[in-house]
Structure 1
Amino acid sequence: MESFEKARLEAFFQRVTQRFPAPQPTSSLIITHLLPERPAFLQAMAHLTHIAAVLPKPRSIHETAAAQTRQHFTVDTLTRAQFADPATALTYLEDTAAGKNLLLLDVGGYFAGTIEPLCAQFSGNIRGVIEDTENGLQRYLDLDKLPCPLYSVARSPLKEPEDHLVGHSIVFSTEALIRSRGDILSSLDACVIGYGKLGTSIARMLHAKNVQVTIYDDDPVKRVQARAHGFHVPTTRAEAIRGCGLIICATGNLALRYEDFAVLPNGAYIASVTSSEDELELTALDHLYRRTETGPHLTRYATTGHYFYVLAGGNAVNFLHGASVGTYIHLVQAEILAATALLTSDDHAPGLHELTPDARRIIAEIWLDYFNR
């Protein structure tokens, strides 16, 4: 990031935090993709809360950003396991922020499985959770009852530009890896599993590159939408992936299971928009398929008479190339800052909350002042 870009971003965040101040002392645990622009966001969060620890998502850590972050904040290792067990999760919170008012910033529902015992047993007070992703939001909504306030930015109109451009970045990185083997996108029929905002963007981008696209989604409403948009929509997942040379998984919720891999044609490529444990049941193949690294971020799975390729180890393929969505990411970060200020300023009832349309308009106007140039 150039110095003038950094200065402009810092000024943008300063104006957002001035517009949405946080008067009450509160600590925060922040799960985040630690990408090049993220230190500026963390500094803005530090104006609103005391950052008890930063927990970078393990497959999206930019080393320079990590080094900058360590200069100012505690940076701990993040795993699913540490927040899957209530006792382990509670111990971590007590070691990190005992007795504090605490906000949890989440990306992917890491705290969802243990949020109920954490709210009940933590020595401090969990003021609420802010969740960035649709995948994570679904994990919280699957709970019988939310024990604390949950602010979601996943379905915000301010996130729509990011979702659109993430779809572009997924296709860009997928194409780059496929070309590294001498193949091209337009020679492959593609199946996109999951027709949410990311899946829709991916499908449209593939279509623009002259790729024949099939859509599968467990939700029949999504399949109707895909059909109306001109895509082929089979009845079953197996029918959808059969014969497709490229499968892009965009569900966040186990797109390909053990039995699905056998249906793939020889030489098919598999890409994902999130972590491998969320999208792909690859561990079930350990005793059946041999794994061979055939190039950077290309793994060949082979058994007698059958083989396919997994891109980026089954993890979000766009992070191989920075996952950049330009300055639109700052709209989402600003909404997170505003939600942080609201959670620290007022008591909220347990349940799902979103920013008001007026608050989102304020953020959009500030963003246009700084980045619409």
Structure 2
Amino acid sequence: MEKTLSGEFRPKVFFDRLSKQLQIPAGANTIVVTHLLQDAQVYLRTLDKVSHILSVIPKPKSIDTTVLSTARTHFTINQSDRETLQTSNIVRDLLRSAAGRVVLFDIGGYFAPLVNDLVDSFPGKLVGVIEDTENGHQKYDRAQPLKVPVFSVARSPLKDNEDFLVGQSVLFSADAILREVGKLIQYLDCSVFGYGKIGGSIADHLSRRGAKVSVFDKDPIRRMAASNRLCKIPDREQIIKQSDVIFCATGGQVLKIHDFRALKPGCVVFSVTSSDDEMDITYLNAEYLAEDVTQHVTKFSSFSNHFYLVNKGNAVNFIHKAALGDFIHIVRGEMIYALKVLLEQPPDPGIHELTQKQRSELAELWLKTFASEPAHYSDLAVGGI
């Protein structure tokens, strides 16, 4: 009997339809780095349906404890941070234990420093890597020449929707944090380092709120695009010295100790990714007195200046769960599609993307599931995590 498809079931149905449509070859193993939040449950269930998940590695700053507890009953969970993963034998042991081919699902280039050595150590076993983020894409690019194919969805047009919403969620969290310390964002001089898809979204949402927005990007073409959207384009030093609020969205350690020394007194610093990717905070505690002002805001004071660092330099939007709606599912769907390509027709080593035709297939499926009203589905037996 056909039933109306409610919003609650749509993600499950999307991935159920996707797995049936793709017909991914059996026998593959996966190691999965992921944000372990509520919306990851159906994604992990689907990945375990089309492959065997050897281990789930949650990103340390984005773990929902309830989801973690549930996931432990279904998967081997390895709570290792990036440094531990890269300096231990965890990944090697997993590859050694795998019966069959292995694909690595990555967020942020966790495996980038290891991947070529892993190919040499386990010839024929590691099929490839699938990377989610621009930050990770850049890390694999720096690891060239690669010895295995890496599929990246970071620059996919299907991810534009998610990145736009990430910018929105960053601003939501930043606004809430600033209000906790008595500041209103629309009255502050706000600057954005990095005018990629997420940085551009932050700047756009700041402008909509009436804030005075400045942008710096090392790419002059991006700076010109920001100017076209009515952002001010001062030089880097001016942004450091004059901004009340700074958003770091580069993935390239844009702030170092000499930048912190030069910040306008009272500046509030936000990041959209991990602190070790976005800024070098190694020497802060040696030069500054750190004082927790609120649960998520730390004041750093020295004789020359003081500033506020939010969420210890980690992604601010994860303070408030970073909900991205249904658009996150198409990005994960693209990663699962890349798994099919790697297993059926692996390309040469290097960085690759899905074709326009393959992305269009995914978009049609997403629209059929999430944008059709009323939507119907005859089989809701798609299970939990």
TM-score range with shorter-chain normalisation? over 0.9
Identity of aligned residues (%): 38
Inter-CA distance 82–100: structure 2 relative to 1 (3 Å threshold): farther
Task: Confirm or deny that 1:72 pairs with 2:71.
Answer: no
CA contact (8 A) 1:39 1:68 kept: no
Partner Cα distance (1:310, 1:51) in 2 = 37
Instruction: Give the unaligned 5+ runs of structure 2.
Output: 374-385
2:240 corresponds in structure 1 to: 241
Displacement, 1:287?
1.1
Displacement, 1:94?
4.0
Partner Cα distance (1:323, 1:105) in 2 = 20
Partner Cα distance (2:7, 2:123) in 1 = 41
Task: Confirm or deny that 1:164 pairs with 2:161.
Answer: no
Partner Cα distance (1:341, 1:224) in 2 = 39
Task: Confirm or deny that 1:18 pairs with 2:16.
Answer: no
Partner Cα distance (2:191, 2:346) in 1 = 45
Output the amino acid matched with 2:63.
I
1:361 corresponds in structure 2 to: 360
1:93 corresponds in structure 2 to: 94
Displacement, 1:100?
3.0
CA contact (8 A) 1:93 1:122 kept: no
Displacement, 1:228?
2.5
Output the amino acid matched with 1:50.
H
Q: Secondary structure at the match of 2:89?
A: helix
Displacement, 1:234?
2.0
Partner Cα distance (2:322, 2:178) in 1 = 17
Partner Cα distance (1:273, 1:90) in 2 = 27
Partner Cα distance (2:26, 2:214) in 1 = 51
Q: Secondary structure at the match of 1:24?
A: coil
Instruction: Give the unaligned 5+ runs of structure 1.
Output: none
Task: Confirm or deny that 1:194 pairs with 2:194.
Answer: yes
Q: TM-score, normalised by structure 1?
A: 0.95
Within 5 Å, give how 1:211-360 maps onto structure 2: 211-235=211-235, 237-360=236-359
Inter-CA distance 370–255: structure 2 relative to 1 (3 Å threshold): same
Q: Secondary structure at the match of 1:352?
A: strand
Q: TM-score, normalised by structure 2?
A: 0.92
Output the amino acid matched with 2:48.
A
Q: Deviations over 1:338-365 (max 9, x none)?
A: 1112212233221222111111111111
1:35 corresponds in structure 2 to: 37
Partner Cα distance (1:347, 1:161) in 2 = 28
Superposed CA RMSD in Å reads: 1.6
CA contact (8 A) 2:188 2:211 kept: yes
Output the amino acid matched with 2:32.
I
Inter-CA distance 296–105: structure 2 relative to 1 (3 Å threshold): same
Query: How many residues get paired?
Result: 368
Partner Cα distance (2:83, 2:100) in 1 = 24
Q: Deviations over 1:135-191 (max 9, x none)?
A: 100000112311111111111111000000100000000010000011100121011
Structure number with higher relative contact order (C-alpha < 8 Å, ≥ 6 residues apart): 2
1:56 corresponds in structure 2 to: 58
Partner Cα distance (2:85, 2:33) in 1 = 12
Task: Confirm or deny that 1:183 pairs with 2:167.
Answer: no
Query: Once structures 1 and 2 are overlaid, which stretch shifts more, 98-107 or 57-66?
Result: 98-107
Inter-CA distance 367–269: structure 2 relative to 1 (3 Å threshold): same
Q: Secondary structure at the match of 1:112?
A: coil
Within 5 Å, give how 1:123-142 maps onto structure 2: 125-142=125-142
